Amino acid sequence: MSNTVNEVETFYKNALQVLKRHAIPFMVGGSFALREYTLDIGRPMHDLDLFCKAGDYPKTLIIFNKEGYKTSIPDERWLAKIEKGNNFIDLIFSSPNYINPVDDSWLSYAKEATLFGIDTKMIAPEELIWCKAYIQERIHFDGADINHLILRKGDKLDWKRLLMRMENHWDLLLSILINFRFVYPSERGLVPKWLMNELISRLKSQLQNPIPKDKICRGPLLSRTQYEVDTTKNGFKVIS
């Protein structure tokens, strides 16, 4: 039997109160953070994603066990779960590709918010975009979420910090911004000119450099399944 909205919200509220009572540093992400920043555009909320540091998640699970919740660790590299009945929370401390570990800087940039009447913190929109940039599965692609975040928050984003976050993957950031310009040509001014010029300059410099000798595929950073044939049969190496 599916839970009512009130039952789900009560579950979330009680879980947040547990975290606050035990002073566990955490941030709300996922669809709740998306709604916070995009207002009317945000997707329906089907679950609650909570972010914490890897060093905090083991004791967090112990606390919830003592509070009568069921806990599990689907992937020790980035994800744990907190459950009661048919309700669950994803406790996230990195990303599915393991390259976005949560650290103190996430908490320092997090935004104050209120959820279910409880004062809490939301992941900053820059970190939210950074995480969503790597979610490009066949059935789960977050490109539209990123576009909506830029549409609503582009004039207030810390673009220098986002560039810093994606420094190693600046060309992925460029592709994201090109996509935004395609979707919203009348709103392309939300992305600062200096950033586009910087990324295009890097692309021009890259075109003058030799092609890498190693067969490299970074597709698995974006999708766990869609590039498996490249790394298992076609001789490509996975590199971050």
Taking the whole predicted model, whether its pTM rises above 0.85 is answered as: yes
Distance of CA 92 to the CA centre of its chain: 10
Interval 65-99: pLDDT, tens: 999 999 999 999 999 999 999 999 999 999 999 99
**pLDDT at res. 1:** 43
Which CATH number fits the domain 1-123, given the four candidates 3.20.20.70, 3.40.50.300, 3.30.460.40, 3.40.50.620? 3.30.460.40
**pLDDT at res. 4:** 74
Q: Which residues of the chain have pLDDT under 50?
A: 1
Interval 164-194: pLDDT, tens: 999 999 999 999 999 999 999 999 999 999 9
Report the alpha-carbon distance of residue 68 to residue 110 in Å, rounded. 29
CA-based nearest residue to 47, from 32, 37, 57: 32
What residues does each domain of the chain span?
A: 1-123, 133-209, 210-240
Task: Detail the DSSP E strand segments found in the chain.
Answer: 27-28, 48-51, 70-75, 79-84, 87-92, 111-115, 118-122, 216-217, 237-238
Report the alpha-carbon distance of residue 114 to residue 112 in Å, rounded. 7
Count other C-beta atoms under 10 Å from residue 230's C-beta. 17
